[in-house]
Amino acid sequence: MQPQQLSAALAELDASHSRRTRLMLESPQGPLIHVDGRDYLAFASNDYLGLANHPALIEATREGLARWGLGGGASHLVAGHFGAHQQAENELAAFVGTPAALLFGSGYAANLAVITSLMGRDDAVFADRLNHASLNDACLLSRAAFKRFRHNDLDHLESLLKSTPAKSRLIAVDAVYSMDGDEAPLAELLTLAERYDAWLYLDDAHGFGVFGDGRGSMAEQGIAGERVIYMATLGKAAGVAGAFVAGSAELIDWLVNKARTYIFTTAQPPALAEAVRTSLGLIAGEPWRRERLAQHIEMLRHTLSGVKYPLHASRSPIQPLMIGGNEQVMTLSARLREAGLWVPAIRPPTVPEGSARLRISLSAAHEAGQVQRLAEAIVAMS
């Protein structure tokens, strides 16, 4: 696109109700946020356990800053791998039940690292059609044959696995889908991976901290094995920042040597690794957060069971209210905002055409009365 074409292209986004803008928070993350001089009750954050502004994480970061300083200063392989990073990696691996783990600056970087370092031109990757954009980009950048299967359709996946003559194979899925909130059938996927000699790569950005007593979807669905590669982000339920990949010791060693987004980037501030370690203690030691979250989910789904807009089937904190058209979802989101409720409208290309939705995100930090207020407002407007 040429510079002179940008104005017309932005106008087209306006006409289709697809142009995106950023809100600027003037408060810490939490159920109550301050935006443009007004307070809102927010259902937009992925802070599922309410840890993003937890005093213990703030204190752990403060102590980490005092001990380690602020910047990482170098890549991990040059002079940026601190003791705090190593301790966090050891504890993350133990927490999810794998031999080793590796920290990354983001889930996006982790997905690019794993798939591009393991897959190449003679290989094939098999990806669910509702996978996160970062997984799709990783598959494309790997230069492997990119095969997409219908959402959670195991028969379609098996037909692709059968018919693809590839040197190496990798199945990539979101363990919990970020816009629908439903889950991948991990045990069945692992069976197919074993049958067709493939890696199984799980992006558990939205399951870690929530499912499996906080240990994630792999623990929830009871799978393990050397061909399973597990990735989870640390900026959602864990309340910090970054991500980690967990798996066999050989896998992690390979990533250290071959993953470009690990090798060629400055290490995260080591103080954040100290916060991650504290977060793991809260995730394991405060199960009431997940219990409260489950209660919120049940209350919301019960109250909205009769509205004309259906809730997508989900037992996760992601509760999508399916609206359909872009204009309709923007209108409903605006009406809720006028009532002091912040619920984001999700439109294509993030979701398929005709499936625009309100993406309701629940948190253990919400009070029951706040969830009820949202539900009653949606009932009144539908």
The answer to whether the annotation marks 309 as part of a ligand binding site is no
- For 55-285, give the CATH class: alpha beta
**pTM for the whole structure:** 0.95
The answer to whether the annotation marks 178 as part of a ligand binding site is yes
The answer to whether the annotation marks 107 as part of a ligand binding site is yes
Q: How many other C-beta atoms can be found within 10 angstroms of the C-beta atom of residue 6?
A: 10
User: Which residues have CB under 8 Å from 107's CB, separation 6+?
Assistant: 132, 134, 203, 205, 231, 232, 233, 243
The answer to whether the annotation marks 206 as part of a ligand binding site is yes
* Residue that has been written with the tokens 């069971």 in this structure: 305
For the chain, the straight-line distance linking the first and the last C-alpha, in angstroms and rounded, comes to 41
The answer to whether the annotation marks 196 as part of a ligand binding site is no
The answer to whether the annotation marks 97 as part of a ligand binding site is no
Which three-class secondary structure string do you get for 52-63? CCCHHHHHHHHH
Domain ranges of the chain: 19-49+287-381, 55-285
What does the pLDDT profile of the chain (382 residues) look like in tens digits?
888 899 999 999 888 878 888 888 899 999 999 998 999 999 999 999 999 999 999 999 999 999 999 999 999 999 999 999 999 999 999 999 999 999 999 999 999 999 999 999 999 999 999 999 999 999 999 999 999 999 999 999 999 999 999 989 999 999 999 999 999 999 999 999 999 999 999 999 999 999 999 999 999 999 999 999 999 999 999 999 999 999 999 999 999 999 999 999 999 999 999 999 999 999 999 999 999 999 999 999 999 998 999 999 999 999 999 999 999 999 999 999 999 999 999 998 889 899 999 999 999 999 999 999 999 999 998 8
| Tens-place pLDDT, residues 53-100 | 999 999 999 999 999 999 999 999 999 999 999 999 999 999 999 999
The answer to whether the annotation marks 296 as part of a ligand binding site is no
The answer to whether the annotation marks 357 as part of a ligand binding site is no
- The domain 19-49+287-381 is classified under which CATH number: 3.40.50.2000, 3.30.470.10, 3.40.50.1820, 3.90.1150.10? 3.90.1150.10
